[in-house]
């Protein structure tokens, strides 16, 4: 007979030990003052129960569920037991007037601190600080901080007594503390140092029952009307809000908490004399998905021990939140009977798969051998699990896309997830949420487009009215002026002045273009811009009033003279000829002859500098020379100037083109460039 696999043995042992432990506690003590607490590393399980005023503590290691230590505390009845977030072996216990801490590292208990409240106040809330081993605790109306190392207790803040006692306390990052009160709609946030009332955060419409912060930045607050608000507490902004369902019309929320993995929000309802537990995934709540699941100690579906303390500990149902009548009731959290026979690997795999612990289920499936009668069924289950894992991965990816507002990508991923797992409720709910966002986005685009069209229409109408009014005014002025000239017999004279103005303007433009062509280095570029601007101003003046035409014609002629003075005197003195002393081939000789023939207008002695013609330095590279050649050719190519009415412009363009080609042939050839002296 094959030995029972170690994992099956451990699983059965865990179930049997918890059943025995529960039976013992139920027989010994029928009140609710008992705890099962797992430390954050899942290495140790603490079982605590109170009997006749004495607290009994037993320490188990979770691998084999063997008891490794036990001790008692007399005259002590704790209402809160929890571990530190910074030190997983640091344990705190608190009663109404005493705080005790232990270190259980190495499986041995060691008391590290004890503090007793002697001023008559009662401890109602307690927790470790998130970023140190300081202890944060509260009485009905005051919040304190205790440093165990220095044995020093300081007051952090007070609350308004008219709003009722503190009913919930949550530790935030940055050593901040959030509290709520029994009759208050607000949440108060205390920073390090003393503050009387702290900073108030207010959005609830009913008194807040409890606040929870899994990581110290996001707060989940629940009020008596079953409303939940999800806050980014540091920006004071609400991430999401929703209405939690009521299990019964008479149900009332009496406490909130978090599971040991900080993945689920726990809600405790009171219905008459009964209590009813629910849990909600925190990620679902953040995304507006309300999917409650019944939660009790018997619902240990994860196959782990994280649920053993959920809702059973008064940490999640404070003493002042449970009436004496409820305390007298027998616990409603009952563990199932132990299995009568050893479960097969397939049965264990099925249980884990139903609890959505897919990787544990796959570990059990691997134990089913090929000759096992359940082999074929195990492989069918294996395929289903792989599909569910794939679907879950796609859902997680869709959540990320949804968070980044990529709704279309999220929709594609969710549809793919449903192809793998058609009954996946989470995928269906997220898909419904995504489709709502897509619909909202579509109508938002339509709305914005309509607004833009309306704005453009109004703007266009205003511009049209403005231009139409200006044109009408100009036309009226022109008609008035023509009417005046008609009565004074000056119509023919006006036409002549118009013609003369147009001719003078065109001449001025051509002279300016020629000057720009001659300014190869762009030395007087600013001047040319100024002259061009003056021509445009003169044209506008001519359109506004024909009475000023004679004066404007004179301005154009003066402008022509200014352009000529710059271009014909300063440029001539700056130009130089090239003296090429190297060998000349026939092509060069013919090119130079043609160039000489084109310079018969008194420029035969003019020196030409090839570097200046191309507009490059003497140290220019071959690539820079090529680039300059292309730019100059585009600027002076004859085809560009064929439309000009002036012959001299065409000739100048042709001459410059030949000079540019000659300069390029010399400077692009390393041998010729070496012998060339400007």
CB 160 within 8 A of CB 202: no
| pLDDT mean across residues, the chain | 76
- Please state whether 405 falls in left (phi above 0), alpha (psi between -120 and 50) or beta: left
- From 94, 89, 270, 243, select the one nearest 169 (Cα to Cα): 94
For helices 345-354 and 358-366, give the axis angle rounded to 10 degrees.
170
pLDDT confidence tier of residue 380, bands split at 50, 70 and 90: very high
> Residue 477 to residues 216, 470, 494, 544: CA-CA distances in angstroms?
77, 11, 15, 8
Q: Which of 420, 426, 385 is nearest to 402 (CA)?
A: 426
Tens of pLDDT, residues 490-535: 556 888 888 888 999 998 888 888 888 887 777 777 778 778 888 8
140-148 average pLDDT score: 88
- The predicted pLDDT at position 211 comes to 92
Q: Give the SS3 label for residue 193.
A: coil
d(CA 50, CA 288): 41
Are 184 and 211 a contacting pair, CB within 8 Å? no
Higher pLDDT, 97 or 287: 97
State the pLDDT at residue 451: 92
Given this model, what pLDDT does residue 453 score? 92
Whole-number pLDDT of residue 473: 67
CA distances from 656 to 216, 635, 639, 645 (A): 77, 10, 13, 18
Strand runs labelled E in 74-196: 80-83, 90-94, 98-103, 110-116, 125-128, 135-138, 142-147, 152-158, 166-171, 177-181, 186-190
The Cα-based distances of 216 to 130, 219, 269 in angstroms read 8, 8, 25
Neighbouring-strand partners of residue 277: 268
Q: What is the C-alpha R_g of the chain?
A: 46
The answer to whether 329 and 386 have CB atoms below 8 angstroms apart is: no
Tell me the three state secondary structure of residue 162.
helix
Kindly state the DSSP code that residue 566 receives in the 8-state scheme.
I
Question: Of 186, 307, 207, 219, whose CA–CA distance to 254 is shortest?
Answer: 207
Q: Is 61 left (phi over 0), alpha (psi -120 to 50) or beta?
A: beta
Q: Which long-range contacts (CB under 8 A, 24 or more apart) does 172-175 make?
A: 172/130, 172/213, 172/216, 172/217, 172/219, 172/233, 173/130, 173/131, 173/215, 173/216, 173/217, 174/131, 175/129, 175/130, 175/131, 175/132, 175/134
Helices (H) and strands (E) in the chain, counts: 18, 24
d(CA 5, CA 17): 18
* Separation CA 101–CA 81 (nearest Å): 10
CA pair distance 41, 27, nearest whole angstrom: 30
Q: 645 falls in which pLDDT band (50, 70, 90)?
A: low
Using the predicted structure, report yes or no on whether residue 111 has a pLDDT greater than 70: yes
Q: Which of 181, 184, 230 is nearest to 206 (CA)?
A: 184
Question: What's the pLDDT tens digit per position in 20-46?
Answer: 444 444 443 334 456 677 777 777 888
Dihedrals phi, psi of 239, to nearest 5 degrees = -75, -40
- Non-local CB neighbours of 670 within 8 Å, separated by 6+ positions: none
Closest to 156 (Cα-Cα) out of 188, 117, 114: 188
How many alpha carbons lie under 13 Å from residue 189 in its C-beta half-sphere?
Answer: 22
The three-point CA angle 616-621-626 to 5° equals 70
Question: Which is nearest to 346 in space by CA: 381, 312, 298?
Answer: 381
**Taking residues 136-153, what's their average pLDDT?**
88
CA angle 81, 84, 85 (to 5 degrees): 130
pLDDT at 311: 36
We find that the CATH architecture of domain 586-675 is Orthogonal Bundle (1.10)
How far is the C-alpha of 275 from the C-alpha of 333, rounded, in Å? Answer: 10
CB 446 within 8 A of CB 427: no
Phi and psi (nearest 5°) for 343? -70, 145
For the stretch 48-93, pLDDT in tens is 877 777 888 888 887 766 788 888 888 888 878 888 877 788 888 8
- Determine the pLDDT at residue 482: 54
Do the Cβ atoms of 189 and 180 come closer than 8 Å? no
What are 411-454's pLDDT values in tens digits?
999 999 899 888 888 889 889 888 888 888 788 888 898 999 99
Residue 500 phi/psi, 5-degree rounding, is -65, -40
| ∠ CA 503-506-510, rounded to 5° | 140
Which pTM was predicted? 0.44
644 vs 579, higher pLDDT: 644
Res. 161 pLDDT band, cuts 50 70 90: confident
- Domain ranges across the chain: 358-484, 491-572, 586-675
Q: How far apart are CA 396 and CA 388, in angstroms?
A: 12
Closest CA to 35 of 322, 315, 327: 315
Q: Are 546 and 494 in contact (CB under 8 A)?
A: yes
Q: Are 523 and 515 in contact (CB under 8 A)?
A: no
pLDDT higher for 479 or 85?
Answer: 85
> Running DSSP on this structure, what letter comes out for residue 581?
-
């Amino acid at each position: 007979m094959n030995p029972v696999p170690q994992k099956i043995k451990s699983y059965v042992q865990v179930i049997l030990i918890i059943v025995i432990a529960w039976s013992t506690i139920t027989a010994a003590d029928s009140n609710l003052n008992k705890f099962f607490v797992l430390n954050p590393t899942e290495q140790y399980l603490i079982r605590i129960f109170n009997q006749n005023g004495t607290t009994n503590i037993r320490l188990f290691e979770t691998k084999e569920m063997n008891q490794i230590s036990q001790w008692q505390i007399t005259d002590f009845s704790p209402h809160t037991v929890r571990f530190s977030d910074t030190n997983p072996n640091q344990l705190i216990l608190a009663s109404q007037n005493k705080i005790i801490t232990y270190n259980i590292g190495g499986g041995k208990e060691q008391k590290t601190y004890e503090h007793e409240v002697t001023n008559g106040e009662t401890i109602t809330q307690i927790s470790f600080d998130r970023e140190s081993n300081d202890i944060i605790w509260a009485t009905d109306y005051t919040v304190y901080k205790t440093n165990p190392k220095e044995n020093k207790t300081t007051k952090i803040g007070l609350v308004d007594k008219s709003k009722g006692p503190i009913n919930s306390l949550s530790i935030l990052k940055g050593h901040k503390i959030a509290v709520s009160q029994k009759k208050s709609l607000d949440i108060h946030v205390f920073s390090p140092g003393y503050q009387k009332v702290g900073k108030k955060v207010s959005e609830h419409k009913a008194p807040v029952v409890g606040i929870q912060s899994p990581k110290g930045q996001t707060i989940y607050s629940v009020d008596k009307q079953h409303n939940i608000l999800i806050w980014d507490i540091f920006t004071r902004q609400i991430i999401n809000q929703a209405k939690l369902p009521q299990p019964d019309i008479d149900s009332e929320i009496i406490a909130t908490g978090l599971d040991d993995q900080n993945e689920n929000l726990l809600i405790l309802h009171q219905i008459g004399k009964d209590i009813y537990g629910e849990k909600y995934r925190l990620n679902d709540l953040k995304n507006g998905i309300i999917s409650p699941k019944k939660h009790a100690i018997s619902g240990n579906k994860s196959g782990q021990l994280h649920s053993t303390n959920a809702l059973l500990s008064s940490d999640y149902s404070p003493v002042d939140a449970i009436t004496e009548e409820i305390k007298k009731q027998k616990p409603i959290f009952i563990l199932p009977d132990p299995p009568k026979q050893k479960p097969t690997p397939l049965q264990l795999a099925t249980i884990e798969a139903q609890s959505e612990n897919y990787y544990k289920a796959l570990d059990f499936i691997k134990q089913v051998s090929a000759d096992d009668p359940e082999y074929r069924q195990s492989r069918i289950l294996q395929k289903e699990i792989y599909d569910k894992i794939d679907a879950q991965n796609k859902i997680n990816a869709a959540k990320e896309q949804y968070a980044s507002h990529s709704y279309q990508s999220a929709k594609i991923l969710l549809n793919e997830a449903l192809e793998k797992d058609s009954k996946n409720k989470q995928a269906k709910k997220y898909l419904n949420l995504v489709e709502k966002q897509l619909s909202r986005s579509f109508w938002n685009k339509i709305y914005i487009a309509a607004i833009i069209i309306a704005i453009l229409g109004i703007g266009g109408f205003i511009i049209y009215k403005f231009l139409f009014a200006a044109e009408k005014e100009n036309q009226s002025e022109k008609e008035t002026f023509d009417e005046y000239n008609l009565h004074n017999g000056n119509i023919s004279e006006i036409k002549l002045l118009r013609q003369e103005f147009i001719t003078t303007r065109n001449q001025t433009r051509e002279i300016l273009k020629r000057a720009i062509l001659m300014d190869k280095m762009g030395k007087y570029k600013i001047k040319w811009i100024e002259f061009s601007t003056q021509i445009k101003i003169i044209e506008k003046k001519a359109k506004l009033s024909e009475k000023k035409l004679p004066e404007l014609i004179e301005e154009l002629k003066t402008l022509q003279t200014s352009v000529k003075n710059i271009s014909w005197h300063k440029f001539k003195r700056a130009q130089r000829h090239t003296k090429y002393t190297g060998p000349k081939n026939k092509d060069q000789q013919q090119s130079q002859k043609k160039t000489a023939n084109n310079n018969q207008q008194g420029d035969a002695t003019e020196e030409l500098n090839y570097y200046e013609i191309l507009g490059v330095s003497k140290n220019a590279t071959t690539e820079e020379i090529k680039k300059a050649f292309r730019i100059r050719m585009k600027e002076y190519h004859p085809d560009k100037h064929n439309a000009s009415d002036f012959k001299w412009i065409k000739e100048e363009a042709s001459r410059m083109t030949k000079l540019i080609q000659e300069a390029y042939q010399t400077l692009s050839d390393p041998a010729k460039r070496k012998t060339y002296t400007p």
